[in-house]
Amino acid sequence: MKKVIFSGIAPSGTIQIGNYLGAIKQWIKIQESGEFRTIFCVVDEHAITIPQDPEKLRAKIMEVATLYLATGINPEKSLIFIQSHVSDHAELNWILNTITPLGELQRMTQFKDKSQKQKSILAGLLNYPTLMAADILLYQTDLVPVGEDQLQHIELTRMLAKKFNAQFGETFTVPEPMINKTGARIMGLDNPEHKMSKSAENPNNYIALLDPPEIIRKKIKVAVTDSSSEIKYDKEKKPAVSNLLAIYGLFAEKTIEEIEKKYQGKGYSEFKKDLAEVIVEGLAPLQARYKELEKNPDAVMAILKKGAEKAKETASQTMSEVRQKIGFI
């Protein structure tokens, strides 16, 4: 049987190039290899762990789903669906919560970061990793392709799978993370100390996949650089330029050395100008596909509905077993 791949993105903002380089690009490669059963989910229940405006949320869910298709996720080859369309996610989340130690949730880096930014800390934000574990375990997932920031959550998922299996008998596959070596952590353009994030307050933190060329050029122009003017990869001493070099390399499919060589003795302004064009060109095909798909939201919705029906088949099998194991009638 083919190994199962599951991953998702929360529609909590507009997908940025970190999500693309760290996660989606890898998903497409995996899909195209034909070696796996690939499942990609729009995790809307995760998005509401931070307050969202309902109308905007609806639009973002459709945007993320349409972007999945525009970047190359193919419904003929992969399952694509919206998390809230399969209610088993919420049910398994509840059950897993009853075996999740509170201390484990409190020590999650993402929880600590995100809760600092909230006026009032809500229980959903704390329990987010348990919901993520439910997403993964429902489909008996073997591998989870994500960016580096999600490693801690996958560790927790593994712990919960093992704990449930030990307590109630073999039920869940224990998943492994799958991290892209390059692009696993793209940093913010406004601050290379923090990762690029789609929910960042400052839009100059990220480049969205749907940013028009003039916005991309502007954002790269104002991206922070380091004190010495050399274009050299040195994560410690030159974190900002190293991040820009990484982005350049990933979009242009060039090695860092090749790019360093090209800009030897040249200044930031020429480098940045070219980098903006590399990104604009890199995003153009998917932006064009997005524009086409956007014209027909009903077709996108039909794909998502069909995906949810298929997802339910596997999820409901797992849930029947879980209910039986824990002693529900």
C-alpha dihedral sign at 227, 245, 284, 307:
negative
Touching ligand LTN, residues 32-71 (CB under 6 A): 43, 46
CA atoms lying within 13 Å on the CB side of residue 81: 21
Q: With respect to ligand LTN, which residue has the nearer C-beta, 125 or 244?
A: 125
Cβ–Cβ < 8 Å for 184, 147: yes
Measured distance CA(300)–CA(248) in Å, rounded: 32
For the record, the structure tokens of 303 come out as: 């794909």
For ligand LTN, how many residues bind (rule: CB under 6 A)?
A: 13
Residue ranges in contact with ligand ATP by CB under 6 A: 9-10, 12-13, 16, 18-19, 22-23, 146-147, 149-150, 183-186, 195-199
Write out the catalytic residue numbers.
114, 195, 198
Least separation in angstroms between residue 89's CB and ligand LTN is: 9
Among ligand LTN, ligand ATP, none, partner that 196 touches (CB below 5 to 8 angstroms by kind): ligand ATP
Confirm if 140 and 313 have CB atoms less than 8 A apart.
Answer: no
Closest C-alpha among 208, 181, 185, 177 to residue 290? 208
Between residues 46 and 272, which has the closer beta carbon with respect to ligand LTN? 46
Print the binding letters for residues 106-135 with ligand LTN: x by CB under 6 A, - otherwise: --------------------------x--x
Look up residue 310 and give its two tokens: 């298929």
Among ligand ATP, ligand LTN, none, partner that 195 touches (CB below 5 to 8 angstroms by kind): ligand ATP
- Map the footprint of ligand LTN across residues 131-150, applying CB under 6 A: 132, 135-136, 144, 146, 150
Annotate 102-119 with b (16+ C-beta within 10 A) or e (fewer): eeebeebeebeebeeeee
Sign of CA dihedral 65, 66, 67, 70: positive
Q: Binding to ligand LTN by residue 18, rule CB under 6 A?
A: no
183 binds ligand LTN (CB under 6 A): no
Rounded-to-integer distance, Cα 260 and Cα 266, Å: 10
- Determine if 156 is a binding residue for ligand LTN (CB under 6 A): no
Partner whose footprint covers residue 132, from ligand LTN, ligand ATP, none (CB < 5 to 8 Å by kind): ligand LTN
Where do contacts with ligand LTN occur on this chain (CB under 6 A)? 6-8, 10, 43, 46, 132, 135-136, 144, 146, 150, 153
